[in-house]
Amino acid sequence: MKPRIGITSDMEQERLKLKKDYVNVVSNAGGLPFIIAPTKDAASIVDTIDGLLLTGGNDIPPDYYGETLSVPSDILKPIERARIDFEISLFKEMMKRQKPIFGICYGMQMVNVALGGTLYQDIGIQVKPVPVGSKQGGVLNHRQGQHEIKLIDSFLSTFNFQLSTFSVNSSHHQAVKKVGKGLEVFAQSDDGIIEGIYKGNYPFLVCVQWHPERDMKRGGISSALFKAFIEASKNK
């Protein structure tokens, strides 16, 4: 039987929205996609799914991670709180049941915040990292384009990856600053920005800053992570 994968949907005023790529990639990887809308009963939803895909979106308001707004207000595009609150509850219910979770972009940031971590409100304004092996120096353009990420050895061995460097798409202006409790960094870009976090002592809790659902034709780490997520969900 195919594992049932809950896919969170974004909100825009009176509408729910979700890009087809998320549904297609779950289906193509061997999962049965179910689109989830925010409700007050996260626990019942979790009981009906085998894995959870937390999709992308805009920005988490800084009060969620104990900060006040410290960048120009027009830079932030806040996600509706109803979505954030629901998905934090959904995430915590999944963790109680030790079910697989895959977070993408906003999904990664939400998981980090839910576990007590913080975010850079805007990379361009707040981040002045020392480049790690970067030929061009300074902060990369994370808002658009492609860049390389490097994986740490322990993650490579866990998922049996043979390569440690991959090229990924990039379309974000915020990033993980302080890593949430129990999470570990597994991928960074050359400028030191965290691109992937995971929980080692968990069936599957992996979050990435890029959009793997857009990269499936290229194979590599994006395809491998989705396959591993669906495989882990089969066991639930």
Identified catalytic residue from 142, 172, 173, 211: 211
Single-letter code of the amino acid located at 75: I
What is the C-alpha to C-alpha distance for residues 213 and 25, in angstroms, rounded to an integer? 6
What is the C-alpha to C-alpha distance for residues 98 and 232, in angstroms, rounded to an integer? 11
Residues in the chain, total: 236
Query: Hey, what are 193's tokens?
Result: 């920005």
Identified catalytic residue from 93, 105, 172, 195: 105
Q: What angle is formed at CA 126 by the lines to CA 88 and CA 213, rounded to 5 degrees?
A: 50
Is 211 in the active site? yes
Is 173 in the active site? no
What is the C-alpha to C-alpha distance for residues 146 and 168, in angstroms, rounded to an integer? 5
Catalytic center residues: 105, 211, 213
